[in-house]
Amino acid sequence: MNWGLFIPELYYLAVCGILLLLSMGAKPNPRRDLVTVLFFAALGVVVSLASVRLEGTLFAAAYRVDLFSQVFKVLLALGLLLTVSLCTELRGIDEGHHLEFYLLLTTCTVAMMLLVSSVELLTIYVALELSSYSLYLLVPLRRGHDAAVEAGIKYLLVGTSASAVMLFGFACLYGVIHTTQVAEIVRVLPGMLGQPVATIGLLLALCGFFFKLAVFPFHFWAPGVYQGAANQVTAFIATASKAAAIAILMRIVALSGGGDAYLVKVLVTLSIASMTLGNLVAIRQKDLKRLLAYSTVAHAGYVLIGLLSFSPSGYASAIFYAFAYLVLKFTCFLVLVKVAADGSDLQIAQLAGLHRRSPLLAMALMVGVFGLAGIPPTVGFTGKLLLFTAAIRQGHLAIVFIAMINVVISLYYYLLVVKAAYLLEPDEDRPRIRLSAPMTLFLWVLVAVIVTAGVFPTYLLDLADAAARALLGV
Amino acid sequence: MIVPYGHVLLLAGILFVLGLVCAVARRNLVMVLLGVEIMLNAAGIAFVGAAIRWQQLEGQIFVLFIMTIAAAEVSVGLALIVRAYRRTGSIDQNTYDLLKW
Amino acid sequence: MTLYALIFYVLAAVLVVATLAAVTRRNLVHAVVYLVISFFGTAMVYYLLGAPFLGILEVIIYAGAIMVLFLFIIMMLRVERKAEHRFSLGEWLPAAVLGLVFLALVGLLVLRDPGAGAALTAATVSPRVFGRFLFQRYWLAVEIVSFLLLIVLMGALFLGRAPGRRPTGGQEGGS
């Protein structure tokens, strides 16, 4: 067995082991812990990038390493690095618990990496559970907020119910197709979708992944959990966890081969419902994290448009949008963490006067929010353009029309955020926000990436195309 | 021949729906957790039925892992419930209304 | 109707009645005890369907560890009797109706399915074969699950710790 294929996961497992040993050590030293984890996370990104072109199968065909999985592993490693870089002043978490916090983040990353490479139902289930349990443990880990434990309980109960439903779906699928290997199911299932048990099985199995991606009607956990968890944890859930959810949803949706009209109708309905509900409810939100949660629900709807076209260009656009979404959401969370420096929840009204307190943060927020809204020349616009054209090519005109209406609706609440940062004046004078030199550089790099990837997307697009072809085994 | 496979699946389905109703309709947090346990158990029955239908072992292996993960879930769930109980003194869902759905 | 089929239907009836009783109890301890009966029934069903090892594991892990843990916590929490004194019809009715509708649909679909009539021939799996298959084909999943158990152990430990004993600098050695 070629262990070289498994290098990113082995690396992160080693990091988990080191963090576990460190957490049993003596005095907690937040500075040293942060620098250590930052170094490991950065090295992890390098390791993932180095193993992008690996291909092969491991573990008795339960695990497949191909361009699709490796691209997502890079995204996940990037997500971990970005989230750890938010933790320079981790006020939201107890000092003694910092190392457990980093350990759980790394465990979640390993689990998601294992998830995107699994091609066998049992491995998918177990990796999904490992990532979910790390998140269930991360959410209550907040200092001084009673809402965190409540959010943790709600997240756990809804999450385990969704995963039990998914398991029943797997059982139905296994009952009609006598194998748990995804490749075999892809071959056999399209012909069998006429049997009711097979269709029920597939739909139920999708429920668990819809939960992770916060698609309607499984999105109810998102606003409460986003609000109740610590800001850095919310950033991780909103970015890296969604990228993994997109990846695994693509693998499962690709199972059906695209021939089933009923499945397409279901996906269309869910997509329209997510987009519309997410955008309409976001308008009324006063808390920035809740607004970002509902925006996540809306974006899940947009990604589903790419999936329901069931074509290589549709999958490629979804992969590209996963990257775009990661960077854009992270930028918004970076601004949030910097403005709410004591780890509390940020109301939109508290963004008032940001352009005077820190012009760089205000500009980064504006670029990030415009990217989420889909305004050119940001990468968000390019991503949406690709998703919509892929759907139009397959003939789904109505849903693209509804999506464009939704983009206009979403502009309203995104502009509210920008208006608060630039046009509103605070009641009392708030101090300037000082940013360290690395953070300033980092913000400029993020803004540059968002704009450049929007204007020159060719390289990333070709990569996404190749990854989509690898997914379909073409 | 024991029973047709459809009957085993139906038994599992009935248990699953019972668990789902319990998880959704009960206000007590511990009962919601019990509902999830019933659902996982029902999935286990469905898997063993499928395993013996195809005369293969994969279904039974799945059930082993389901049991393990159910045990893990119960530990975390009850630890969280105990922590919440220590702060608020009740395990009724209506007292937890700090976060709107 | 063979003997095995008769045993299966009796067990199925016991299972459904016990689970229904467990779901509708107001007293938590009663609910857990009915569920233990239900899990014993499940273990018997596993034994009947050719998985004796799983049957024993079900009794040891599910009925023996998980339900006992539930009982410990329930007795520790001292739940008020008045907490769920009345089942308001408004709460139960929608869920029950939805459940019945769903069940009817699923029942119809399952029994109409062409694969549903497949005969289940009796067979048994010995623990030795089971173990060998597990570690030959699925040992990645075994490793992942053991990691999960470690993480959950750590998490349950620091979540369930009594408040007021927070780690203070160098005093706390570990989590």
Nearest CA in chain A to B100: A224
Write out the two tokens for A78.
């990037």
Is it the case that residue C17 has pLDDT exceeding 80? Answer: yes
Across the interface, whether the CB atoms of C133 and B61 are under 8 A apart is answered yes
Fold of B5-90: Helix Hairpins (1.10.287)
* A140 contacts on C by Cβ (under 8 Å): 159
Residue A193 in contact with residue A261, Cβ under 8 Å?
A: no
Q: For A399-445, what is each residue's pLDDT tens digit? A: 899 999 999 999 988 888 888 888 877 777 777 777 788 888 888 88
Is it the case that residue A462 has pLDDT exceeding 90? Answer: no
CA distance B59 to chain C (A): 10
Question: 3-state class of A287 per DSSP?
Answer: strand
Write out the two tokens for C138.
């699925």
Q: How far apart are CA B83 and CA B22, in angstroms?
A: 23
Q: What mean pLDDT is predicted for residues A51-70?
A: 83
Is it the case that residue A325 has pLDDT exceeding 60? Answer: yes
CA distance B63 to chain A (A): 10
Asked if B67 has any chain A CB less than 8 Å from its own CB, the reply is no
DSSP state of A6: G
Asked if A130 has any chain C CB less than 8 Å from its own CB, the reply is yes
Q: How far apart are CA A332 and CA A235, in angstroms?
A: 9
DSSP state of A5: G
The closest CB to that of B1, out of C76, C121, C130, belongs to C121
CA A112-A272-A325 angle, 5° bins: 40
- Nearest Cα to Cα of residue A329 among A226, A217, A409: A226
Phi then psi for residue A64, to 5 deg, are: -125, 125
pLDDT of residue C175: 40
Q: What residues make up the domain containing A154?
A: 3-472
Which residues, listed in sequence order, are joined to residue A58 by a DSSP beta bridge?
Answer: A63
- Nearest Cα to Cα of residue A63 among A5, A19, A143: A5
* B66 contacts on A by Cβ (under 8 Å): 167
The structural domains of chain B, with segments of one domain joined by +, span 5-90
Q: How far apart are CA A224 and CA A290, in angstroms?
A: 7
Total Cβ atoms within 10 A of residue C124: 12
Q: For A154-185, what is each residue's pLDDT tens digit? A: 999 999 999 999 999 999 989 888 888 877 77
pLDDT of residue B99: 65
Write out the two tokens for A367.
């670029």
pLDDT of residue A76: 93
Burial grade of A190 (CB within 10 A; 0-12, 13-18, 19 or more): middle
Across the interface, whether the CB atoms of B38 and C76 are under 8 A apart is answered no
Q: How far apart are CA A232 and CA A322, in angstroms?
A: 19
Question: 3-state class of C112 per DSSP?
Answer: helix
- Kindly report the average pLDDT of chain C as a whole number: 82
pLDDT of residue C87: 57
The closest CB to that of B46, out of A161, A172, A178, belongs to A172
pLDDT of residue C172: 40
* C115 contacts on A by Cβ (under 8 Å): 175-176, 195, 197
Rounded to an integer, what is the distance from CA A300 to the centroid of its chain? 10
Could you give the percent of chain B with pLDDT greater than 90?
Answer: 52
Check residues A327 and A437 and name the one with the higher pLDDT.
A327
Q: For B45-82, what is each residue's pLDDT tens digit? A: 999 999 998 888 889 999 999 999 999 999 999 999 99
Alpha helices in A214-342 (DSSP H): 221-228, 231-236, 242-253, 261-282, 288-308, 312-339
User: What domain count does chain A have?
Assistant: 1
Is it the case that residue C164 has pLDDT exceeding 70? Answer: no
Nearest CA in chain B to C66: B71
Is it the case that residue C174 has pLDDT exceeding 50? Answer: no
Q: For C58-89, what is each residue's pLDDT tens digit? A: 999 999 999 999 999 988 887 665 555 555 65
Phi then psi for residue A118, to 5 deg, are: -80, 135
Is it the case that residue A150 has pLDDT exceeding 70? Answer: yes
Across the interface, whether the CB atoms of B73 and A160 are under 8 A apart is answered yes
Q: What mean pLDDT is predicted for residues A111-135?
A: 92
Q: What mean pLDDT is predicted for residues A8-25?
A: 90
The closest CB to that of A161, out of B39, B69, B88, belongs to B39
Nearest CA in chain B to A139: B80
The closest CB to that of A62, out of C140, C169, C175, belongs to C140
Q: For A265-287, what is each residue's pLDDT tens digit? A: 888 888 999 999 888 888 888 88
pLDDT of residue C170: 39
Write out the two tokens for C34.
């009915």
Is it the case that residue A259 has pLDDT exceeding 90? Answer: no
Q: Counting one residue from A and one from B, how many pairs have CB atoms under 8 Å apart?
A: 118
pLDDT of residue C171: 39
- C-alpha to C-alpha distances, A90 to A19, A96, A231, A279, A441, nearest whole angstrom: 17, 11, 9, 31, 20
